[in-house]
Amino acid sequence: MRSGDYVLKRAGFAVATVFIALSINFLLFRVLPGDAASNISRVPGASPQLRQALEAQFGLDKPIWQQYLLYLKELAHGNLGVSFANQQPVWTNLSEALRNTLPMVLTGTVIAIVLGIATGVLSAVRRGTAADSMSTNLAIAFYAFPTQFIGAMLLIMFAGIFPAAGMSDPFASNASTMSHITDLSKHLFLPVLTLVLTLYGENTLIVRSAMLETLGEDQILTARAKGLPRRTIIRRHALRNAMLPTLTMIALSLGAVVTGAILVEVIFSWPGIGSALYEAVLQRDYPMLQGGFLVITVTVITINFFADLLYFRLDPRITS
């Protein structure tokens, strides 16, 4: 298979996946009992006429297929709809939440990836030593701990030292840029540390496994027989060939950047996209859920598409 055909095939698969995902997302939330209008109409004093008006306003009085066609039409014009909860455009709500999520989740994910690769390579190179045993056991332990447990423990240990909720001091006014950055960094510490401890264990184990498999191949033995330095063998031969499963891990981790760590955001009251979608589920805010899942789907698929291109760059044999 030629490289151009491979790229076109992966791109077509990505587009088809996005279409299927947005269709499933649209239907999934409508088969659940209740809707936004029924929730609002339960307010004491609300009349049946209010429910009918709300259903007409939100388009819930139309058949499902008409709602679906209307959704696709608006989506083609870049309109994700209007939130049932606050009557604001969905994209406005999502973009604000995404701006809050990125500093926290991106920082924690990147640190976890770098730390996981470093400790995974170290464990593989020093297999059977005390350093390998300590690194592997520690990675397994943090990989096994639930996110909420790690977050709760960090809250207990460091809540008196670092801020435990929100992303800024609500009483700080007219603060300078440096003061704002310092305050944001303090609020970031506990959520970022929770993400790092949650993700790094899995990264370490995957990189270690991939490196051990690569170090046992014939090409590594040949490189050693040629007298190449150990660092050169590890960097140019072993780590390069171990990057395929590592790239999969990185792609999945970066996909989580947009989804937001819902548990972490809830624990630390971080106003990110994870919290926004959590609130949308409670309020049966279908446009927010559809828009949020669409953004998540497109981002994850795009990242995996570029990962596929990197696979081909690292090992052209995958097209055969």
Residue 319 has pLDDT above 70, yes or no: no
Task: From 153, 131, 143, 116, select the one nearest 198 (Cα to Cα).
Answer: 143
pLDDT, greater one: 158 or 317: 158
For residue 195, the model assigns a pLDDT of 87
Token pair belonging to 130: 């005390």
Domain count across the chain: 1
pLDDT digits (tens, 9 = 90+) for 111-164: 988 898 889 888 888 888 888 889 889 999 988 888 888 888 888 888 778 887
CB neighbours of 60 closer than 8 A, spacing ≥ 6?
35, 36, 37, 54, 67
Q: How much of the chain is in helix, strand and coil states, percent to nearest 5? A: 75, 0, 25
Question: Does 207 map to a domain?
Answer: yes
Report, as an integer, the average pLDDT of 256-274. 76
- Domain with residue 147: its CATH number is 1.10.3720.10
Residue 2 — pLDDT band, cuts 50, 70, 90? low
Question: Does 150 map to a domain?
Answer: yes
pLDDT, greater one: 114 or 182: 114
Q: Which of 8-17, 84-93, 97-106, 234-243 has the lowest mean pLDDT?
A: 234-243
Reading phi first (left if > 0) and then psi (alpha if -120 to 50, else beta), residue 38 is in alpha
Question: Does 59 map to a domain?
Answer: no
Question: Does 275 map to a domain?
Answer: yes
Residue identified by tokens 């670092």 is 162
What residues pair up with 89 in beta bridges, in sequence order? 82
pLDDT, greater one: 35 or 311: 311
Question: Does 226 map to a domain?
Answer: yes
pLDDT digits (tens, 9 = 90+) for 221-250: 787 787 778 777 777 777 777 777 777 777
Residue 255 — pLDDT band, cuts 50, 70, 90? low
Question: In angstroms, rounded to a whole number, what is the distance separating the alpha carbons of residues 59 and 50?
Answer: 14
Question: In angstroms, rounded to a whole number, what is the distance separating the alpha carbons of residues 290 and 305?
Answer: 22
Question: In angstroms, rounded to a whole number, what is the distance separating the alpha carbons of residues 112 and 206?
Answer: 13
Token pair belonging to 187: 């609020």
**What's the pTM value of the predicted model, to 2 decimals?**
0.74
Question: Does 148 map to a domain?
Answer: yes
pLDDT digits (tens, 9 = 90+) for 3-62: 677 778 888 888 888 888 888 877 776 666 655 555 555 544 455 665 566 556 556 667
Question: Does 137 map to a domain?
Answer: yes
For residue 43, the model assigns a pLDDT of 45
Domain that holds residue 236: 94-315
Question: Does 257 map to a domain?
Answer: yes
